[in-house]
Amino acid sequence: MRLLHEQNVEKIALGAAVLGSGGGGDPYLGKLMAIQAIKEHGPVKLIDVYELSDNDLVFPSAAMGAPVVMLEKIPNGEEPKKAIAALENYLGKKATAIIPIEAGGLNSCIPIYTAACLGLPLVDGDGMGRAFPELMMVSYGIGGKNASPMVVCDEKGNMVILESINNQWAETLARSVTVAMGLFTQMSIYVMSGADVKQFAIKNTMSLAEKIGGCLVSQSDASINPVDKIIKTTNACRLFEGKVVDVRRDLATGFIRGHAKFEGIRTYTGQIFSIDFQNENLVATRNANAVAMTPDLITLLDIEKGLPVQTDTLKYGQRLAAIGIPCDKFWKTEEALKVTGPRYFKYDFDYIPIEELEKQNGGIR
């Protein structure tokens, strides 16, 4: 166990945005919420999964929807607390710890906020080790846990409790509610015992996010480019360096769906790079050849400062470095690839690990 203070949150927010693979929500507002909650309620206890007792009851706290909407549809701060309280009341049991559902920017900060407000410990782990766009793309669910009962809240005070027959229906119903509530909601879902968390969680992701974020705030190696620091810390490969020349986005379905095109600079001059995304970056191609694909992480970083750029903030003229980070080994299993691999997203090809694509396409470490 250790304590998370304001400076830890700063690093976690940055590092989680790197792990978010373009999604998980812009961490800025979530970071402010978490820092304010720590100022008011004190530091948050971050515990290892093995510090949980098997009978503990662990509640995930998360946001759902199109992250760009949050910048105009500001949370009132009560949503995460109300979601936990409603689910506790529905189950007749009290939460003993909070855990993130994913290692995305916003969705790594909201659980810190919730834990601080409720005086509960935060588990050092999550259900993805990155961010994914749909609720069944979670190690908890693939391991056999039910997403429901779940509570979905908005900033107006509306609240819905959902019971679904399976996790695909949980996604469908919660997405419909989120669209009706204005494309952005907060929720609690996938309630688990401590034994479940030990078995199914992707472990130590908050600590990893903090380590990555430290690469961006530390001045100890000022001579080393931050992008190079992140590549080393995450064992990533460099996919491209270029300027954004086209971005197309659509929010109609409760996701940010779209495509971005880049023209190469530096050693990539004369080459073309593109990314398809659904909240998170899904497939990256260089000169029409795939160089990275889901469930591996595709992350865009400011070429000079190394700051992560989300799919909702991509814009013409940005000069970015694209890196590919190997996913957790859990996602390379047959069951996991059924809901996170390229074919799930309607691509007509099978998953090839980024390590193999790197050899085929000459990626640079």
CATH number, domain of 264, equals 2.40.390.10
Q: pLDDT digits over 232-250, tens only?
A: 999 999 999 999 999 999 8
Does 100 reside within a domain?
yes
The CA–CA distances, whole Å, from 130 to 136, 205, 289, 296 equal 14, 9, 24, 9
102 & 248 share domain: no
Burial class (CB in 10 A: 0-12, 13-18, 19+), 309: buried
* Inter-residue contact 16 to 91 (CB < 8 Å): no
- How would residue 251 be classed by pLDDT, with cut points 50, 70 and 90? confident
CATH number, domain of 116, equals 3.40.1610.10
Q: Which residues contact 189 (CB under 8 A, 6 or more apart)?
A: 60, 62, 101, 135, 147, 148, 150, 151, 170, 174
User: Which pLDDT belongs to residue 120?
Assistant: 98
Q: pLDDT digits over 131-146, tens only?
A: 999 999 999 999 999 9
Is a pLDDT exceeding 90 seen at residue 74? no
Does 81 reside within a domain?
yes
- Write down the pTM of the prediction: 0.92
Does 213 reside within a domain?
no
191 & 282 share domain: no
3-state secondary structure of 110: helix
Angle at 348 between CA 343 and CA 352, to 5 degrees: 70
196 & 292 share domain: no
161 & 245 share domain: no
| Domain housing 344 | 226-361
Does 147 reside within a domain?
yes
Q: Which residues contact 147 (CB under 8 A, 6 or more apart)?
A: 135, 136, 138, 141, 164, 167, 170, 171, 189, 190
User: Which pLDDT belongs to residue 209?
Assistant: 96
**Rounded mean pLDDT of 266-271?**
96
Number of compact structural domains in the chain: 2
CA distance 280 to 58: 26
249 & 328 share domain: yes
267 & 161 share domain: no
